[in-house]
Chains A and B, each alone.
Chain A
Amino acid sequence: MARRGRVTDERPWWDTFPWWSLIILSVLGWMGWQILTNDNYELAWERILPGLGLTITSTIQAFAIALVIALIVGMGQMSRNVVFRNLSRTYVEFVRGIPILPLIFTVALILVPELTKVINGQLENWFDWELKLSFQMRATVTLAVIYGAYMAEIFRGGIQSIPPGQTEAGRSLGLNRRQTMSSVVFPQAMRAIIPPLGNDFIAILKDTSLLSVLGALEITQRARQFSASTFKFREGYFVLAFIYLILTLGLSLLLGMLERRMTRDRKGER
């Protein structure tokens, strides 16, 4: 039998309460408790944690390089210069079409050695110095190359989301293309660009785990080594997951706060 009553748009507190955050907090709390109290987990923690610095520096390096690539390539895709535009497009399509792992091998084992062979001959002649890229750096550069392409699309999308009337207004006032971009379009596009860039920062953080395939001693590689040498797989990967979760969830929290601040600004409530 159907329940009798009136429709209402009021929802009870248990319907709107963010249960998910409670669940995540309790899982993280339980994980932390395990690490603090269980000797096996503690051992894993001590062996894996030293890789955290490398994970974080690689993330920041890859993100910084990717940002530069993205800005150049994103603008390049909208350039009037036919060569620049097509090269940018080609780069984005190529990189987006290849999975990260094979690309890391390609760059680290083929492209970097071949390229350094070519330029080092000259560098040695001129400066008596040669370029050496560690495997860790090669993997970081590969990550930057990949995320540079993804982020270029974010820049392009953000800029193209600004109504053409804005550009027309700027140009009709006599601002040139560059001034219109930097004073009118780009500041507005930032609102659309920053949130997905933050997501990509988190994605890069997770993908630094792929550096392990080239032997870089970041946290994933250390977890692998710990587990393989002690056969404590559960402990090793449990601690690894815990560290990644703390980092990524913390970052999304920050990102969410940033986004809320930006939307508040948009409503003009300052």
Chain B
Amino acid sequence: MDETVTTQPEPMIRLRGVSKTFDRTIHAVRDMDLDVAEGEVLVIVGPSGSGKSTVLRCINLLEIPTTGTVTVDGFELTDTATDLDHVRAEVGMVFQQFNLFPHLTIIQNIALAQRKVRGRSKSEATEMAMRQLTRVGIPEKADAYPRQLSGGQQQRVAIARSLAMEPRVMLFDEPTSALDPEMVKEVLDVMLELAGEGMTMVVVTHEMGFARAAADRLLFIDEGEVVEIGPPEEVFSNPSHERTRAFFDKILY
């Protein structure tokens, strides 16, 4: 089959002709093509309702595309023969609302999927959980329950929970939008460090500072379509589309 022309020969994430329609009338994503290379950090920005979260959720098929194909690490997720759970274990996801499991302690939160999906023993899973907790800076919270943690700490645990699965890709869906302002940085710091280690990341966010610091490419999306994509400095300083310009005028001081 004819390979589509891309900058990288084997993109980690490949979307082809992805559309998502809700209730047959609302077109959240329209015919989108997107490649994300291995080790690349892609930041997606756009006005609310532009479809940026939907695109992200299509990547691990939390949202099933109406049409189109999604390929991650060579596995086509939209192929019914693919073992979706297997691929999802390779794709970490961090949510706006953290979505920690409130009935489990922090260490149990991080160990659960390791044991059930990766088949690790309790001690292996605990060891890995402690390693990831240390990495996000809160090993002392191992035996606490999520409700006893601040929002920023909960989000860091959520990141640790995903990382413990040793994923190939990390998806972030507005990870700092539900946080009190003083907690945003501690989460972004962890993400920045992760980007520095070469993790393939797709991040939906309103944090333009993070986009500047970490993004290889910035994608501006509006009404379900890619309006503009390129290096963040270029898109920020010299947007080639009126819609992009109007958006940045509204959000940048």
Q: Give A residues with C-beta under 8 Å from B.
A: 163, 165-166, 168-176, 179, 183-184, 187-188, 268
Contacts and interface: CB of A to CB of B under 8 A. Distances in A.
B105 to A, nearest CB: 10
A171 B113 contact: no
Interface in B79-131: 85-86, 88-93, 95, 97, 99-103, 112-113, 116-117
Contacts of A173: 88-89, 92, 112-113, 117, 161-162, 165
A188 B100 CA distance: 12
B210 interface: no
A183 B112 contact: yes
B145 interface: yes
Contact of A183 (B85, B95, B116, B145): B116
Contacts of B99: 163, 165-166, 168-169
Contact of A174 (B62, B88, B103): B88
B101 A174 contact: no
Given A187-B103, A268-B147, A171 B95 contact: no
Given A170-B113, A268-B145, 17 more contacts: A165-B97, A166-B101, A169-B99, A169-B158, A170-B101, A172-B88, A172-B92, A172-B93, A172-B162, A173-B161, A173-B165, A174-B89, A174-B90, A175-B112, A183-B112, A187-B103, A268-B147
Interface string B56-95: 0000101000000000000000000000011011111101
16 contacts: A163-B99, A165-B95, A168-B62, A169-B93, A169-B95, A169-B99, A169-B101, A171-B85, A173-B113, A173-B117, A173-B161, A174-B86, A174-B89, A174-B113, A175-B113, A175-B116
B135 to A, nearest CB: 18
B134 interface: no
5 closest A-B pairs by CB: A174-B89, A173-B113, A169-B99, A172-B93, A174-B117
